[in-house]
Structure formats: structure tokens, C-alpha cells
Amino acid sequence: MERKKVAMDWGYMAYLEEGRGRPLVFVHGAGNRAQVWEGVMEELRGGFRVIALDLPGHGASSCKLEETIEGYASRVEEFLDALELQEVVLVGHSMGGAVAIKTVPRSTRISGVVLVGTGVTLSVNPRILSGLKEDFRGTVAAMARWCFSKDVHPPLVEKAGEMMLQAGRDVLYRDMYACSVYSGKEDLGGIAVPALVICGEKDVMTPVALSRELVKSIKDARLTVVEGRGHMVHMEAPGAVALAIRAFLS
């Protein structure tokens, strides 16, 4: 994957890019970065232009602390404009899915959306928020375990935890707080493009019921449940996620 960056009026947004064709733009979740999508991108780069961005303050992007999902949505919209992308399929996971829900009705550059492990609301246990302040490393370790199915390969859990530690306490806390106060209820009616909703069967962070609610609320939406996988379904089963996306776009 080629690492690139684009200048904004507040700094740089970094991203990974490979392939040619219709652009798929991937938005990561809370405390993550672009690399979380690498497995899915490798599966799809043969037929699409795959782009995974680092949200502001994450990965290699400049630090611009956002406190709301709406703020992140504005930065994603600016990113699409800066790259002058058209016919974009926006793919978002968890917090990134919430960002996508907010972005799609606002942008004419988007022609499809894939929502992975997300919901119309994203409840956060208050103990996670307090834990991030009082015991950052311990809380991150617990969050990383909860993000995966019980039989996952341990290095994946370690990789996810390391990404959150790298993001740092301030960024991860702001992300989780933004999720806790987010609601996409007023936005779903404005999603006029085809939508694919993907969820891991064993997701305890954003259970399948949230995905079913999205499918009922979006005019043209379909659901794919990946058997036996957890919240980080795109890391646990990148091939299954890529296959679902490819079928959706065929």
C-alpha cells in the first residue's frame, strides 16, 4: 500500500491507496488508523481504487482534535473534495460507520455506502469512559479483548490494543465520548444510495440487532452477518468482508 497525504487548511490528512477503478474510501473506528483495513483492501485492490484514511489526530494525520461525529464527517467530506473523488463507495466501521451515516446525506460524491459493525446509536458503558481516564492501559486491554470473538488469533487482539494505545488517551476518550452522544436517526432518511450493512455474529460491542435496525431504516439496504466473528470483523475475516462488498457492487 502506498502511503500518501493531502493538505488541508488545518494540516495533513494521511491515507493509504492502491489499485485502480471505482474508489472505495475506508473510515476506521475509534482509536484506530488506516492500517486496520489492509486485509480488506488487499482483497479488493485488483478491481477497485482502495483508499483508507487516517482521521485527524489518528495515525499519520495532523492533530486536529474532534469532539463530535459531525466534526469527523466534515473532515471526511473535505477529504473527498480534496481528492476530487466521484462515485465513491464510503466504507465505515463502528465510529467510522457513524461518520459515514453523517457524511452520505451531505455529499454528492458518494454513490454507495458500507456500514460495518455500527448502529444508529453507539452506546458506551460509562465505566469505559471513566476507565480511560483512570486506568488507560488496563481499559484499552479490556476493550481490545471485547472487540473480537473468543477464538480469535491472539496477535490480532494485541494489534488492535496497540493501535488504541498509539492513538493515546485524549484521542481515544474523545472518540468514545463522541460515540456515546451520537445519534444518526435524523440522517438515515437522507441516505438515498444503496447500502450494505455488515456485522460479526459474535459482536458484543455493536450487536447484530443494531445492524438489523439500520437495514430497516435505510431505504435500499441489505445485511450480511459474518458467522462466528466479533466487532473487528474486518480484521478477523477480511476475506468475508471483501467478498460481501464485491458482491454488493457487482
What average pLDDT does the segment 96-113 reach? 98
Distance CA 212, CA 210 (A): 5
Over residues 181-220, the pLDDT tens digits come to 999 999 999 999 999 999 999 999 999 999 999 999 999 9
Over residues 143-180, the pLDDT tens digits come to 999 999 999 999 999 999 999 999 999 999 999 999 99
pLDDT value at position 228? Answer: 97
Over residues 15-52, the pLDDT tens digits come to 999 999 999 999 999 999 999 999 999 999 999 999 99
Strand, helix or coil for residue 97: helix
Over residues 109-142, the pLDDT tens digits come to 999 999 999 999 999 999 999 999 999 999 999 9
Strand, helix or coil for residue 86: coil
* pLDDT greater than 90 at residue 65: no
Tell me the residue range of the domain where 176 lies.
Answer: 2-249
What average pLDDT does the segment 85-104 reach? 98
pTM of the model: 0.97
Query: DSSP class of residue 36?
Result: G
Write 143-152 long-range contacts (CB < 8 A, 24+). Answer: 146/204, 146/205, 146/231, 147/205, 147/230, 147/231, 147/232, 148/230, 148/231, 148/232, 148/235, 148/236, 149/200, 149/202, 149/228, 149/229, 149/230, 149/236, 150/202, 151/228, 152/230, 152/236
CATH number reported for the structural domain that contains residue 193 in this entry:
3.40.50.1820
pLDDT range class, residue 243, cuts 50, 70, 90: very high
What's the number of domains the chain is made of? 1
Distance CA 213, CA 64 (A): 32
* Contact between residue 30 and residue 21 where contact means Cβ atoms under 8 Å apart: no
Distance CA 177, CA 79 (A): 23
* pLDDT greater than 90 at residue 4: yes
Distance CA 189, CA 229 (A): 29
* pLDDT greater than 90 at residue 1: no
pLDDT value at position 105? Answer: 97
